[in-house]
Amino acid sequence: MRRLLLLLSLALVATAVQPATAQATTTGSGFNRVAYFIQWGIYGRNYHVKDVDTSGAAAKLTHINYAFGFVNAAGECYSADPWADWQRGVPAEQSVDGVADDWTGPLQGNMNQLKKLKAKHPGLKVLISLGGWTGSAYFSDAVLTPQSRSKLAASCIDLWLKGNLPDAPGAGAGVFDGIDLDWEWPGSDGNAGNVIRPEDKQNFTLFLAELRRQMNAFDRRSQLTAFLPAAAAKIDAGFEVRKVFDYLDFATIQGYDLHGTWELQTGHNGNLFTDRKDPNPVKYSVDQTVRDYLSRGAPKRKLVIGVPAYGQGWTGVTAGGNGLWKPATGPAAGKWGPGTEDYKDLATKPGKRYRDLLTGSQWLYDGNQFWSYDDPAVMLEKAAYIRLKGLGGSMMWSIDGDDSKASLTKALWSILR
């Protein structure tokens, strides 16, 4: 009964908020609307900062998180791809303002384009995201002592906020408005080879305190956010939740990869509510993750809910029915990797689509392949949940997965504006 009442309330919120005009700005709603822009998307994906603008997404966002900056074994911030970040001359057809880089200036590449995007959309903030799945190996070492924490914070601020690029001091100033910390994961397993310690949990808090202190000394307007996990076991292993939020403007919490092709059974990528038919001993959902953070002392207005612009897909799903919770032989083929596909490609993929309003989920099944992904209707339901619960907003991973009309981004904005 409680879930039914909530669903009715979500429906009322979704229908009560009418579409706004194309001239609306990114400010004034109180909700954060965040999207990650991936540094490497300019290559095979051919997705550029200009596309964030021409799709209409830039006008609907409050924040772009630029992924990723890395931390090296010496405990310092560095660029994993300076060519993409500030060295590449962007041609006119890929430039936000239609003006090509001249190949001689100290700031070119994605960072110069982000600066141009901010000039066109003055309410938009851009944060540098540090870490990610493949860039979190050395965080534990880098935050181990007061001295190392101070060194890492100073290094990150110097490179990304002060913009002191190698051979071009100050050239990158004004691009980034803050730092998003994406350590995956303190105190528990992430990518193979990551350094992990039990004391990561306390050191994460101590590093946030030091980073916040140094950022305030540089510019009190600079923002500090973090990406936090969905699993309760990872929350408890790595985060002093109540203390962490004292230093954060907000945190984006994982609302996807709740199930995926590391499992040989289909499931939901990012279901809003717990599926009572889920046969797994631990049942994940966005709502359960929100409850887990609130019960540990997180302020609800600082919880920004992650949503996927991609799907998780399995193949060899031949048990029939609607394909959900059925055995699979492995990941389905995807354009950019096994078991994953962008929303823009899944939207036109053949097969029968199923929708479950009680779990806030959708999937596609053709008798062999099963894909769990969010479409604009699911985004509306999730945005209505965020609004009704009084949470802090939405975050999309990642903006290049949306279609050329920014359909997912606009669906979220229509409720969270």
Q: Which residues are part of the catalytic machinery? A: 184
Contact 156, 130 (CB under 8 A): yes
Place of tokens 């510019």: 219
Pairing mode, if any, of strands 352-356 and 370-372? unpaired
Comparing CA positions, the residue from 277, 161, 234, 226 lying closest to residue 392 is 226
Contact 110, 49 (CB under 8 A): yes
Comparing CA positions, the residue from 54, 8, 47 lying closest to residue 310 is 47
Q: Give strand pairing partners of 311.
A: 341
Rounded Cα distance between 131 and 121, Å, is 27
Rounded Cα distance between 46 and 27, Å, is 29
* Ramachandran angles phi, psi of 315, nearest 5°: -125, 170
* Ramachandran angles phi, psi of 319, nearest 5°: -80, -5
